[in-house]
Structure 1
């Protein structure tokens, strides 16, 4: 009876570990290797297949002077790629990127590369705030309209020097640069919990096997 009970506990532990790993292992990899995210161009503006759910926000952006650039994909290890739709306002030196969240809701963020290296990022959804003066400013204004978001972004650009090529190629390169450099701290902050759950799952697996060997 004790053998069956112990076996049941081991099996339950292994099932829990498998669930935890399936949900969090990719986040642990992202924490350890943020530069591993692939950023690739997907389609130019005249072939951009914009979902209907994003059309209203896209029209609002164009009304503010943004022009469509194209779409790109961002793919972490072991995950499907997320497709994003990019716009630019060369006069204001701002990129706008639209994508769909997991629940299908539209997400919009504005991005401006800085000289010699840095970014200003303002999101229309909850995003961790981070401010490294003159180098990196990341924040959010939840549920703000594109017009309000743009005003907030331009205010946050005061005192910094925008740089970059505000084309489709420039937007893809800005994404790659973010993952290689200043975005790493933000990515690790967002995925620390995934790393901890992964370590816990591996500890459960190790404990189960060591317990079996000891018995």
Structure 2
């Protein structure tokens, strides 16, 4: 192989490595340091700037008896902060959160903290099922209506002990607690592939560098 061909191959490999790092480095960081996600309040319920795409879901939540609490942001290392919009049904002891997924897809999930420490999470989109008896239940029902999703969430609360302060402050603290504790196992499951691709990208860079030094 001549020098130009070798250079072209090396550049192509480095280009691939850079692409993999751009797409996956933040996921690898999240896998390694899930507690570094920062959860902060954004705006109270009467001042939320709700995206238009989420308005139909908000209307259905209010019809179910939910009230607006406020919005919060979640800042993952190496990523821009993402906004979520929170509601609560204090009588049923359930939080509801709206946010935009990939390509602006509207998303909804219900969350209930458990005593002494735990969570039940029911999402209206694909979410891997995870069950730690008495402490953690997480899963999704793709494309379920808010009413159906809410009823499914209430059913999943049977046999556990809901707890928490169903206020805006309580919702922000629940988010922080999730990232500090039981949510870390789910985060690592979701981002393992990102870690593996990041390692592969770094291996490509190392191979190109060491190979260049060896010539």
TM range (shorter): over 0.9
Equivalent-residue separation in structure 2 for 1:146 and 1:4 (angstroms): 59
Does residue 1:21 correspond to 2:17, yes or no? no
Aligned residue in 2 for 1:142: 142
Q: Give the superposition deviation at 1:185.
A: 0.6
Aligned residue in 1 for 2:75: 75
Aligned residue in 2 for 1:212: 212
Describe the SS at the equivalent of 1:68.
strand
Aligned residue in 2 for 1:34: 34
Describe the SS at the equivalent of 1:19.
helix
Aligned residue in 2 for 1:130: 130
* TM-score (normalised: structure 2): 0.98
Equivalent-residue separation in structure 1 for 2:149 and 2:46 (angstroms): 26
Aligned residue in 1 for 2:163: 163
Q: Give the superposition deviation at 1:176.
A: 0.4
Equivalent-residue separation in structure 2 for 1:204 and 1:105 (angstroms): 34
Describe the SS at the equivalent of 1:9.
helix
Structure 1: unaligned runs, 5 residues or longer: none
Equivalent-residue separation in structure 2 for 1:199 and 1:121 (angstroms): 31
Structure 2: unaligned runs, 5 residues or longer: none
Runs of 4+ in 1 over 6 A off after TM superposition: none
* TM-score (normalised: structure 1): 0.98
Q: Give the superposition deviation at 1:10.
A: 1.0
Q: Aligned pair count?
A: 215
Aligned residue in 2 for 1:110: 110
Equivalent-residue separation in structure 1 for 2:142 and 2:200 (angstroms): 33
CA RMSD, Structure 1 to Structure 2 (Å): 0.8
Q: Give the superposition deviation at 1:89.
A: 0.2
**Per-residue displacement from partner, 1:171-190 (whole Å, max 9, x unpaired)?**
00000000000000100011
Aligned residue in 1 for 2:187: 187
